[in-house]
Structure 1
Amino acid sequence: MRSLASIVLAFESIVLALVTPVMISVADIRPAIAVPVCLGLALLAIVSAGLLRFQAGYVLGSVVQVGAVGLGFVVSVMFVLGAFFAAFWVAAIVLGRRIEVAKKAHEAHEAPSS
């Protein structure tokens, strides 16, 4: 589960960093606002990827998803991109849990026959 979630957060951090110039040039947001917001979210995504071994990493990752969708109020395309990344985030968690359960079941099945 951790590896899938960290991949989502890594790619999302790149997209969030690239939204900074879009906010400045297209949405006409002052750099003093756009830079800390976008790069702050990108940094939060990287930090949460590093913390995924703890529950706090998943909580921070979810905060990043809310923030990414929330940027849609400033740059409308972020509603779509944020929704995609939020869907990837949920899928990474759900599929990751299924993979972990399958691994444990496989290990439990293999252990008695050794």
Structure 2
Amino acid sequence: MKRSPRRGMCAAILSLEAVTLGLTTPVMISLTDVPTSVALLVGLGLAVVCLLLAGMLRSEWAYTAGWVVQAAAVGLGFVIPLMFFLGGVFALLWGTAVLLGRKIERERAAAYAAYEAEQG
């Protein structure tokens, strides 16, 4: 069974991002005027969404949802300014993983096709 390099890279990024987003919760509670319930819902909610998406990357729609999470992480910068930077870093990592993963998958498919044609 072939493993998808795109899925592996994107799942790793979402898992690391879940930790970062989870850690925004205590920051929002202690350093901002955001109510505790909203901070818990946003911070931990986004972290859980990241972990769930990491497991759902077999479906193409999950990659689109991953872009939505990236936008939400950058948007969190309006509450915690450092998240403009951290969210941007994760968005760049996400985009790189998606594009590089697709390229690797295409090249791998071409190599398998060439091998099959040669054996064939």
Fold shared per TM-score above 0.5? yes
Equivalent position of 1:75 in the other structure: 80
Count, aligned residues: 114
Give the Cα–Cα distance (whole angstroms) in 1 for the partners of residues 42 and 15 of structure 2. Answer: 17
Equivalent position of 1:49 in the other structure: 54
Q: Please report how far the alpha carbon of residue 52 of structure 1 lies from its aligned counterpart in structure 2 after TM superposition.
A: 0.8
Equivalent position of 1:60 in the other structure: 65
Question: For residues 90-114 of structure 1, what are the alpha-carbon distances to aligned partners after superposition, in whole Å with 9 as ceiling and x for unaligned?
Answer: 0010000010011011111211233
Which letter maps to 1:106?
A
Q: Please report how far the alpha carbon of residue 76 of structure 1 lies from its aligned counterpart in structure 2 after TM superposition.
A: 0.1
TM score, norm. by length of structure 2: 0.90
Contact 1:50/1:57 (<8 A) preserved: no
The 5-angstrom pairing of residues 86-105 of structure 1 reads: 86-105=91-110
Which of 106, 111, 115 is residue 106 of structure 1 equivalent to? 111
Which of 24, 30, 45 is residue 25 of structure 1 equivalent to? 30
Which letter maps to 1:52?
L
Which letter maps to 2:111?
H
Question: For residues 34-76 of structure 1, what are the alpha-carbon distances to aligned partners after superposition, in whole Å with 9 as ceiling and x for unaligned?
Answer: 0001111111111111111112211221111011001000000
Report % sequence identity: 43
Runs of 4+ in 1 over 4 A off after TM superposition: none
TM score, norm. by length of structure 1: 0.95
Contact 1:24/1:31 (<8 A) preserved: yes
